[in-house]
């Protein structure tokens, strides 16, 4: 009887853990990576795009052009003094995640489509754009999205051609 009760308890615990894992994957972040692409690998990077985040709630550049199939290394710099994020997603995903962030401002997460940086820090997101269309990006720290801290990646149809040397695009003021 004791062995059977232990087996039932362990089975129930495993089932609940699996359910929590699926719920986490589907609902905690709600990413539809197929719609926005997939995590890229550094070796497949075709170019580097430098993106600056500032305390005036802006990304520079805020409009980026990519080709379908292209893998971009985004070098993200937070030149401000407060925490900012760079999050790739659909507009719907970003708005939903922003509402969660407003309720849980200290929520920590580390997904391949995003990076959170304290003031003065620099980091990278490597992303492959598998479908043509518009991909949004935003800072989801409370108040930042509403203040206009967002941008777009326009992904043109066609296949990117990998180059031997990654091209670096810098935007300076």
Per-residue confidence in pLDDT tens, the chain, 173 aa: 555 443 343 333 433 333 333 333 333 344 445 789 999 999 999 999 999 999 999 999 999 999 999 999 999 999 999 999 999 999 999 999 888 888 877 777 779 999 999 999 999 999 999 999 999 999 999 999 999 999 999 999 986 544 433 444 444 44
Please state, in angstroms and rounded to a whole number, the distance separating the CA atoms of residues 40 and 76. Answer: 16
**Element holding 135 (H helix, E strand):** strand 133-138
pLDDT score for 107: 74
pLDDT of residue 33: 58
Res 1: pLDDT:
55
Measure the CA–CA gap between 111 and 93, rounded to whole angstroms.
Answer: 14
Phi, psi of 101 (to 5 degrees): -65, -35
* Pairing outcome for strands 84-89 and 133-138: antiparallel
Burial environment of residue 27 by CB neighbours within 10 A (0 to 12, 13 to 18, 19 or more)? exposed
Pairing of strands 47-54, 167-169: parallel
* Angle, alpha carbons 86-79-87 (nearest 5°): 0
Strands (E), 5-62: 38-39, 47-54, 58-60
* Percent of the chain as helix, strand, coil, to the nearest 5: 25, 35, 40
Angstrom distance (rounded) from CA 113 to CA 44: 16
Task: State the architecture of 32-169 in CATH terms.
Answer: Sandwich (2.60)
pTM attached to this predicted model: 0.73
How far apart (Å, rounded) are the C-alpha atoms in residues 109 and 72? 22
């Amino acid at each position: 009887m004791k062995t059977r009760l232990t087996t039932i308890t362990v089975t129930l615990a495993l089932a609940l853990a699996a359910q929590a894992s699926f719920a986490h994957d589907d609902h905690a972040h709600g990413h539809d990576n197929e719609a926005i692409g997939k995590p890229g690998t550094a070796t497949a990077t075709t170019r580097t795009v430098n993106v600056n985040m500032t305390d005036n709630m802006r990304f520079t550049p805020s409009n980026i052009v990519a080709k379908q199939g292209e893998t971009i290394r985004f070098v993200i710099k937070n030149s401000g003094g407060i925490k900012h994020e760079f999050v790739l997603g659909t507009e719907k995903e970003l708005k939903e995640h922003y509402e969660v962030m407003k309720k849980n401002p200290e929520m920590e997460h580390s997904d391949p489509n995003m990076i959170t940086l304290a003031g003065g820090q620099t980091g990278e997101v490597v992303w492959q754009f598998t479908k043509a269309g518009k991909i949004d990006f935003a800072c989801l720290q409370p108040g930042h999205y509403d203040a206009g801290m967002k941008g777009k990646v326009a992904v043109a149809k066609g296949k990117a051609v990998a180059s031997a040397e990654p091209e670096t695009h810098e935007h300076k003021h």
